[in-house]
């Protein structure tokens, strides 16, 4: 059973998200699902669940006022949240709630012409109609294991171009990079393969959990590439077996075996 956080720890979590936007002097913390009293410096006290506030939700009155000033994101995305999804702290940093940050990034990739210049692979991508509304995407994301993970659209369905609840999942950054590497090359040699000029052999390494692991030296490029691909497949399968989401687990194992 997880240890219950102290009032001091909870307020620290609040401030990591909202900085000094609110006054927490009236907070009496019991658990993450119980409401606490928070003071908006503009509209006064309001009650909110600790979990919601830590996740980015704020003063409802500020949220209602901001809705009237919102325009569709890139002409298609509707931010219908009843709270401020972003604010600027006293240091000039722009802070966004984690759900809005992922939603905004998804809409940008699909509908921003500037993004398409930098990343042309997203030019033909779209977002399912229901996900164009922020609250619907947020409701889905709240049920996912998303902490420190990337939103992915083509692990479940190879070559998929549509972001939707049936096609998307969250996957760790390490896994995502390895999957992207599967079609990449590094100069004249396959990914993970380097020519060691001192020995004339091909050195192989792979990034595992953020650390570079050396796989050895090989006489031919093919042998070196095979060693990298086997190590990559084993790593992906091991990580897949740790997952609870059966859809993602099966998809990763399938991809690893193909590669």
Q: What is the pLDDT of residue 181?
A: 59
Residue 26: count of CB within 10 angstroms of its CB: 11
Q: pLDDT means per 10 residues in the chain (259 residues)?
A: 83 84 92 92 90 84 66 91 71 78 96 94 95 95 91 92 96 80 64 91 88 92 93 89 88 81
pLDDT the model gives residue 184: 46
Domain ranges of the chain: 1-57, 176-240
Q: Are 38 and 32 in contact (CB under 8 A)?
A: no
Sequence-ordered strand ranges (E) for 13-101: 22-23, 35-40, 44-49, 86-88, 94-96
- The residue whose two tokens read 């992906």 is 236
What predicted TM-score, i.e. pTM, was given to this entire model? Answer: 0.67
Q: Report the 10 Å Cβ neighbour count for 116.
A: 16
Tell which residue, 128, 168, 136, 132, has the closest CA to residue 152.
168
pLDDT of residue 201: 95
CATH class of 176-240: alpha beta
Q: How many residues does the chain have?
A: 259
């Amino acid at each position: 059973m997880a240890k219950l956080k102290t009032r001091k720890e909870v307020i620290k979590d609040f401030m990591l998200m909202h900085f000094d936007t609110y006054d927490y002097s009236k907070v009496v913390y019991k658990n993450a699902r119980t409401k606490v009293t928070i003071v908006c410096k503009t509209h006064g006290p309001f009650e909110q669940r600790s979990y919601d506030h830590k996740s980015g939700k704020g003063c409802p009155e500020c949220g209602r006022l901001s809705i009237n000033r919102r325009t569709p994101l890139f002409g298609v995305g509707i931010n219908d949240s009843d709270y401020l999804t972003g604010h600027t702290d006293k240091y000039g940093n722009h802070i966004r709630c984690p759900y809005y940050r992922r939603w905004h990034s998804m809409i940008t990739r699909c509908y921003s012409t500037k993004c398409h210049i930098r990343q042309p692979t997203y030019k033909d991508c779209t977002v399912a109609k229901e996900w164009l509304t922020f609250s619907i995407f947020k409701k889905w994301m709240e049920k996912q294991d998303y902490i420190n993970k990337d939103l992915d659209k083509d692990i479940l369905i190879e070559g998929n171009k549509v972001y939707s609840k049936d096609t998307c999942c969250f996957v760790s950054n390490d896994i995502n990079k390895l999957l992207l590497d599967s079609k990449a090359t590094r100069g004249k040699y396959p990914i993970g393969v380097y020519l060691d000029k001192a020995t004339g052999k091909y050195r192989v390494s792979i990034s595992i959990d953020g650390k570079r692991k050396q796989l050895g030296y090989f006489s031919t490029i093919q042998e070196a590439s095979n060693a990298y691909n086997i190590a990559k497949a084993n790593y992906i399968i091991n990580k897949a077996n740790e997952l609870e989401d059966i859809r993602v687990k099966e998809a990763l194992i399938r991809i690893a075996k193909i590669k």
